[in-house]
Structure 1
Amino acid sequence: MLSRTASELFWMARYLERAESFARVLDVTYKLSMVPRHSQQKRDLALPLNLSLTHDLFQARYPQFSMANLINFFALDSDNPSSIYSCVEMAWNNAHAVRGSLSAEVWECINTTRIQLRTLRQKGVEEVGIDAFFDWVKDRAHLFRGAVFGTLLRNDALCFIRIGTLIERAFATTQLLLLKDQQLNNDTDPVREYYRLDTLLRAVSAREAYNSIYRQPVTRDTVAELLILRNDVPRSLRACIEDVVGQLEQIANTRSHLPLRLAHQLNVDLRFSTREDLAQSDMQVYLTGLLARINALADSVRQTYLETV
């Protein structure tokens, strides 16, 4: 496969996964905004800005810090490169460039998502309802993945789509854990801690999984174990990296040493770590280190497969 084709497929998948991730984060932030006012509320609402590092851009476009402005900024603002609208547009551009490598169903899914989002942008999120909008974004992402799994050949194209999705998901989960840990460290109120952990689980669709595995009230230690070390939770870091290893093995060639080594090393470290190891770690340092390793893995994939030799 040409490096350019692989790159377009990789980034198409990353942008669509990023759009869904921001929909999930916005959903959590919106629900946190309904908690009775407290000293850390503004910090809670700034979660999407912290994730995307767009504080300055937001302040330049919106003089007032409010939930309504945050939703507009991250949902449909074309000037925000991290908005759901911008992510879908960039995913569509990548998909259009490699139309021949996609099935008709996958292309129609992406194209229809873009058309519907442009129509929705003219009406505004409030017109369709905030919760309905978030659900729509997640549904379109689910439909895309279903079309990918159900219609694409099991070849290199599918591998690069999967690698892009998994790396973006691993990064998003780890970054969300890092910022949630900062929030919890800054506010020790047990009621708000419980609510923050609960919304974190719902953001990654892991509330039911948590109840099934632990059968106890949520705690920081158990949530960290679930979203970092469990390989049976689809959005956990270990599950993502384990799947990345499998995809990289399928496309391995004589130049694949570095990405394979980085992926295997990270997978082994996660596989043989325990909840006690996490409890004894400085979570801020630990999660920051994980983000650096995920970025290094993504960069090695780019240099090995996505750049012209």
Structure 2
Amino acid sequence: MLSRTAEHLFWMTRHTGRAENLARVLEAQHQLSLIQPLHANDDTALERHARERAARGWLAILASAGVVDRYHLAHKGVTSAEVIAFMVADPSHPASIVSCLRAARENARTVRGWAAEELWETINTTWLDLQRLIADGLQAHDPSAFFEWVRARSNLARGVQLAAPVQDEGLDFLRLGAAIEGADHILRTLEAHGDVLAAVAFDYHRAYALLRAVSGVEAYRRIYRDTLSSAQIASLLIQCPDWHGSLAARLDEVRRLSVRLRNSQSAQTERLAQLLCDEVRQAPVDEWLSSGRLSGWFAAMIVRVNDLARRVGRDLTRPLVPGPVAAAA
């Protein structure tokens, strides 16, 4: 396979996955904000605390996407409506859903001659329908319906990919992009909202929102069959080998695919993937959870996973990403 084709397949799934993950994070925070309705005219200490708490949640989403400063340039306050509009429909920055799906479509268009026709039709239709939904204002008057639509379209694209008539290395590059994006997403979500795990007073609603943001609710119920607890949530999201969305499972998939796609210059990339897998499996998560060290570990792992992603792009594919999107990679 040409390196140019491999690169476009890799980035197509990264950007599709990024849009889906962002929709999950925004939906989780949106639902959390509905649990404690805020009354703008009520200036009691309880309401002020609720507003500040909600603002911190939205700011955490902006921070995990690296767009806090850009947001503040255009907005004075932090409200759910403004953050949703900024992270969904603003094409001026690469972290929005519209920017991610535009980049996914451009990569899909470039490989139309290689990929199955159904894949191009799915991604192109998603892009066309997205513009119509945004013009109709669905993300503003019914955010939950909009986020559900993004998730459904991403799932459809993934199903089309897996149903490809030929299971060759092209599918491996698609899976590689999804695995790396998944590892990055779960780490950024934990860094932004992981304080709920270390809180003295366990907050059920915030913990549930954290699981929703990484699509881990059903996995938790099936694996633990228990009420929510910080230790079990941390174990599921970080080290659980039985759930494909855990950090350990995502990194192990990157490792396996790096081996399958190896070439003469990828030995260091394979070693780094193996090293990260070993470190995650052996990490004393319970000890770090009780001592408050997990947040620092999340930040360090984000850097290392992004280094792995850059090495994959350098050694296994040829970096060829649209300019404004590359800055967010």
Asked if Structure 1 and Structure 2 have the same fold, meaning a TM-score greater than 0.5 normalized by the shorter chain, the answer is yes
Aligned to 1:234, what secondary structure does the other structure show?
Answer: coil
Pair 1:290-2:301 in alignment: yes
Equivalent in the alignment of 2:219: 209
Q: Is the 8 A contact 1:4 1:306 kept in 2?
A: yes
Alignment equivalent of 1:307, drawn from 318, 322, 325: 318
Relative distance call for 1:126 and 1:240 in structure 2 (3 A) is closer
1:110 aligns with 2:120: no
RMSD: 2.0
Secondary structure at the counterpart of residue 99 of structure 1: coil
Kindly tell me: are residues 130 and 246 of structure 1, through their superposed partners in 2, closer, same or farther at Cα, counting changes over 3 Å? Answer: same
2:74 pairs with one of 48, 51, 61: 61
Question: For 1:140 and 1:169, how far apart are their aligned partners in 2?
Answer: 17
Task: Give the distance between the partners of 2:161 and 2:20, measured in 1 at CA.
Answer: 16
TM-score (norm 1): 0.92
Alignment map for 1:88-167 (pairs within 5 Å): 88-126=101-139, 129-167=142-180
Counterpart contact for 1:105–1:151, Cα < 8 Å: no
Question: Structure 2 stretches of 5 or more lacking a match?
Answer: 37-46, 320-329
Does the C-alpha gap of structure 1 residues 274 and 126 become closer, same or farther in structure 2, counting only changes over 3 Å?
closer
* Structure 1 counterpart of 2:269, from 259, 262, 265: 259
Match of 2:192 among 147, 171, 179: 179
Cα shift at 1:152: 4.9
CA offsets, 1:92-117, max 9 Å, x none? 11111111121011111101100100
Task: Tell me which residue corresponds to 1:268.
Answer: 278
Aligned residues: 305
Check whether the contact 1:24–1:134 (CA below 8 A) recurs between aligned residues: yes
* Corresponding letter in the other structure for 1:104: E
Q: Distance in 2 between matches of 1:64 and 1:286?
A: 31
Corresponding residue for residue 229 of structure 1 = 239
Query: In the TM superposition, what whole-angstrom CA distance separates every residue of 1:181-231 from its partner, at most 9, and x where no partner exists?
Result: 24665x6543xx221111111222221221222232212221111001012
Cα contact 2:81–2:140 (8 A) shared by 1? no
Alignment of 1:179-198 (within 5 A): 179-182=192-195, 188-190=200-202, 193-198=203-208
- 8 Å CA contact retained: 1:43, 1:183: no
Shift of 1:58: 1.5
Unaligned stretches of 5+ residues in structure 1: none
CA distance in 2, matches of 1:266, 1:101: 33
How far does the alpha carbon of each residue in 1:62-94 deviate from its partner, in whole angstroms, 9 at most, with x for none? 334211111111111111311111100011111
Amino acid at match of 2:210: L
Output the TM-score relative to the length of structure 2. Answer: 0.87
Distance in 1 separating the partners of 2:78 and 2:289: 35
